[in-house]
Amino acid sequence: MIKLDVKNIIKTYDGKEVLKGISFEAKEGEFVSLLGPSGCGKSTMLRIICGLESPDSGNIIVSGKEITSEKPEKRNIGMVFQNYALFPSMNVAKNVGYGLKMQRVPKDEIAVRVSETLNLVHLGGYEKRPVTRLSGGEQQRVALARALVVKPDILLLDEPLSALDRKIRGEMQYEIRNIQQKVGITTIFVTHDQEEALTMSDKIILMNGGKIEQTGRPWDIYNHPESNFAADFLGKANLLHGELQTAADGTKVVSGRGWKFAAKTLLPDGAVQIAMRGEQFGISLESTEQAQAFIIRQKIFVGTTCKLLGTIGEDVLEVSAISADMEKFSIDDTVYLTIKPENVLCYRED
Amino acid sequence: MSKGLKIFLKIWMFLGFAFLYIPILVIIIMSFNGTAYGMFPFKFTLEWYPYLFTKSELLPAAVLSLKFSLTVAVSAIIVGTMAAFGMQSMPERFRKGLNSAFQLPITIPWLVQGVSLLLILNLLGIGRSYFGMFCGNVICVLPYVVMLVLGRFAMADRTPEAAARLLGAGPVRVFFDITFPMIVPGVLAGGMMAFIVCFNSFCIQYYLAPFGVRTLPVEVFTLIKTGYKADLNALAALMIMISLAVILLLNRMGYSGTSLFAAGTKKGKMHHD
């Protein structure tokens, strides 16, 4: 069943079109990410869904009911803000219970539901604490509890993890997803972090410049990006310019400045742009027929993987290797790279 | 920084403080002096304090000034906060223009303002009256209230208001539950400024007070012309003590001078860690 239906939303600020006709839908209980670089319009989209902004045209439909011109306080949509937006003058229980108080729920019932929800976010017993004394992660959980306690139709998360440090961010990714599944609430998650979107979502909506670039499941969108923007944004890809040619046996080959890769594509011959992910290269110390010579110029240790920066022909390439193998390679060495044809993604030159 | 410079700066700082506080200290000491007109020899006495509360004309004037300034401050808080609330919701260019228009009267000398107000009040047939004096003083203190409350709005995080809306609170509810507690330090600071400025505003009160009514500044002015007793020093000493007590109380409540009048508050600021 379709819970949220967004239809052709257009929004302009000072004559600049920030949303150029956005349409998407979210099923009951689905976790949908709006992913894109800053300024792509994803936060504006979220503010339109909850009614803090109104669109120039288009419709927002929740559970089959049109709410485009409904006031925000009448929409029953929960939201967790980037900076949590807790009420500094109230303690944890008052913050979480605020929405219930607005619904005129009796006091004893508020107390019960508040402590249930605090338990859900692992903050049992925090009721009396002032929110100003909580850590970032705890404030985050309070904000989540406050949004969930009123049982909203839809939960909106506006970059809720960006203010947390790396370790807590990882925990909260897991935690939020866990709670979301337990409650079964339809969730729209805004982020500019492709890793967050890939690990948490059922569906990713990739946005760029006020338009949707691509929609799909994380696995599909990562492995079959439909544009070079998508390929580059979902995990940094090497973008190279080349010439696509069909060989006599029907196989396709892209050749550039001193390099040549076999590719699988339906594009006609001609100038193309190709995208190759660093982790999809095979690295060998010996030359084979298909392999391309790669001269290592720099090694960068990143943790479990290491990046090898170097050149193939006249172009620069970034290749990922497992850190355990790092010692095998030294700077100015020549190694040989192979890549499967289906991992050489071709796009028309634009 | 060299050691010599450090010592020099320290001495300079103490000189600054001395410049500020020695006159006040002298007043307090003189309130215990039995010799008239603050002259020597210094004879210790406590007589000026009972005198102040029994025979002195200063006390009624002081009480009048306190009541009057409080009325003006409260009125200015209400009007000023409403004005600031309206202004902050406007588009930026209107707000900036309006704000300058609001701040400009601070630069107009009170002498000029007092005379011009009297002229207008006379033209309107109101003349010297409590009402005229009240309006005049509210006009003088309003810019301070608007400035401080608006400053508070500018530095406040506005997302809690949006969060409250999404939790089902209508605009009026949001104002009283979220917005007002957020700007309370600004309102308090504005009220304090308004009170102090009004308490001191000799010019306006001199021109606009009804005949025979003397607020404290006007009374003091009259006394100084005719020669004053040390009960004025006693009153000054008491007022300093009361101000000190108020400041200490505010600090206890979690408001410091910087949190009321400047950015970076103790209350209402979230720490992210």
Per cent of chain A over pLDDT 70 is 100
**pTM across the whole model:** 0.75
Per mean pLDDT, which range of A191-205, B77-91, B234-248 is the poorest? B234-248
Look up tokens 């110029």; give the residue.
A297
pLDDT digits (tens, 9 = 90+) for B25-68: 888 888 887 776 666 777 777 777 888 778 777 888 888 899 99
**Residue B181 contacts A, CB cutoff 8 Å:** yes
3-state DSSP helix/strand/coil % of chain B, to nearest 5: 75, 0, 25
pLDDT at res. B36: 67
Same fold, A2-228 and A237-348: no
Q: Which of B182, B181, B174 is nearest to B153 (CA)?
A: B182
Residue B194 CA to residue B208 CA, distance in Å, equals 18
Residue B207 has pLDDT above 80, yes or no: yes
Q: Where are the domains of chain A?
A: 2-228, 237-348
Q: Which of B135, B130, B100, B143 is nearest to B114 (CA)?
A: B135
CB contact (8 A) between residue B166 and residue A78: yes
Residue A291 CA to residue A260 CA, distance in Å, equals 9
pLDDT at res. A202: 92
pLDDT digits (tens, 9 = 90+) for A127-186: 899 998 898 889 989 999 999 999 999 999 999 888 888 888 888 888 899 899 989 999
* List of chain A residues whose C-beta atoms are within 8 Å of the C-beta of residue B273: 135-136
* List of chain A residues whose C-beta atoms are within 8 Å of the C-beta of residue B269: 88, 132
pLDDT band at B263 (very low <50, low <70, confident <90, very high): very low
State mean pLDDT over B188-194: 88
Q: Which residues fall within 8 angstroms of residue A121, CB to CB, at 6 or more apart?
A: A141, A142, A144, A145, A148, A175, A179
pLDDT digits (tens, 9 = 90+) for B97-155: 888 888 887 888 888 888 998 999 889 888 888 888 898 899 889 998 998 898 888 88
Residue A103 CA to residue A86 CA, distance in Å, equals 19
At position B12, the amino acid (one-letter code) is W
Whether the upstream peptide bond of residue A55 has omega within 30° of 0, thus cis, is no
With a CB-CB cutoff of 8 Å, which residues 136-165 of chain A face chain B?
Answer: 136, 139, 143, 146-147, 150, 163
Residue B68 CA to residue B63 CA, distance in Å, equals 8
State mean pLDDT over A330-337: 88
Q: What is the DSSP letter of B238?
A: H
Q: Select the residue from A14, A46, A73 to test the B interface by mutation, using most B Cβ atoms within 10 A.
A: A73
* List of chain B residues whose C-beta atoms are within 8 Å of the C-beta of residue A72: 162, 165-166
pLDDT at res. B267: 40
CA distance A19 to chain B (A): 21
pLDDT digits (tens, 9 = 90+) for A312-325: 988 889 898 888 88
| Residue B63: burial class (beta carbons within 10 Å; 0-12, 13-18, 19+) | exposed
Residues of chain B with CATH 1.10.3720.10: 59-215
Residue A306 CA to residue A331 CA, distance in Å, equals 13
Q: What is the CATH number of domain A2-228?
A: 3.40.50.300
Q: Which of A135, A136, A129 is nearest to A114 (CA)?
A: A129
pLDDT at res. B37: 65
Q: Which of A207, A232, A202, A236 is nearest to A218 (CA)?
A: A202
When the candidates are 3.30.40.10, 1.10.10.10, 1.10.3720.10, 3.20.20.100, the CATH number that belongs to B59-215 is 1.10.3720.10
Q: Which of B101, B115, B202, B116 is nearest to B146 (CA)?
A: B101
Residue A156 CA to residue A186 CA, distance in Å, equals 9
The pair of structure tokens assigned to A83 is 């900076």
* List of chain A residues whose C-beta atoms are within 8 Å of the C-beta of residue B271: 132
Residue of B nearest to A134 (CA): B271
CB contact (8 A) between residue B168 and residue A103: yes
Q: What is the CATH number of domain A237-348?
A: 2.40.50.100
The pair of structure tokens assigned to B152 is 């508070």
Residue among A52, A86, A146 minimizing CB distance to B162: A52
